[in-house]
Amino acid sequence: MMKKMISLPIFVLMLFTSCKDTSKNYFTEVSPEIDVMRQMIKDYEAGDWVSYKSHYTEHAKMYHNRVNSNPCTIDEAIEEHKTYIDQVKNYKYSTTENQTVEMIIDSKGTTWVSFWGVWTGTFAESGNEAEIIVHITSRFVDGKINQEHMYWDTAPFVMERIWD
């Protein structure tokens, strides 16, 4: 009887400790991946497409204002960027004080970096200025982006074409 009384608390203790959550959820605002994201944005602003592309894996899937069933390649994404910025005489993202960049490692162990910022530009033909909120979430594998979801409001570009 005494053995059973001692065994029960040990069994209960083992049960509770074995059910402990061992996932590695993690959140930070400082990491090498965040540095990559910030450099990628600087390369975009400078129009340095060779350096920009170097931050992505060879087969990265890009979802820029797209649903998950319709990705494009990094080369197609760069051409899309060029199409938009060809319409403006200057462009940049807001200062780093007005940006948020953070990284999480989710419960599956996947590394994601998210960016929120304001893109500003002046249209070449009209001189109109635009401020567009941009959100980017990128999945990292071995220090490079292999999946990117980017969303922004294209209305200012559409309106420029309509009023031409």
Q: Tell me the pLDDT tens digit for each residue of 122-156.
A: 999 999 999 999 999 999 999 999 999 999 999 99
Q: What is the pLDDT of residue 104?
A: 95
Residue 1: half-sphere exposure toward Cβ, Cα within 13 Å: 0
Question: Under DSSP, is residue 83 helix (H, G, I), strand (E, B) or coil?
Answer: helix
- Top-level class of domain 22-162: alpha beta
- Res 43: pLDDT: 97
Tell me the pTM: 0.80
In the chain, pLDDT over 90 holds for what percent of residues?
Answer: 69
- What span, in angstroms and rounded, lies between the C-alpha atoms of 141 and 131? 32
Q: What is the predicted pLDDT for the residue at 159?
A: 87
Residue 124 DSSP code: T
Nearest-CA neighbor of 104 among 21, 15, 19, 29? 29
Give the residue extent of every domain in the chain: 22-162
Integer-rounded Cα Rg, in Å, for the chain is 23
pLDDT band at 101 (very low <50, low <70, confident <90, very high): very high
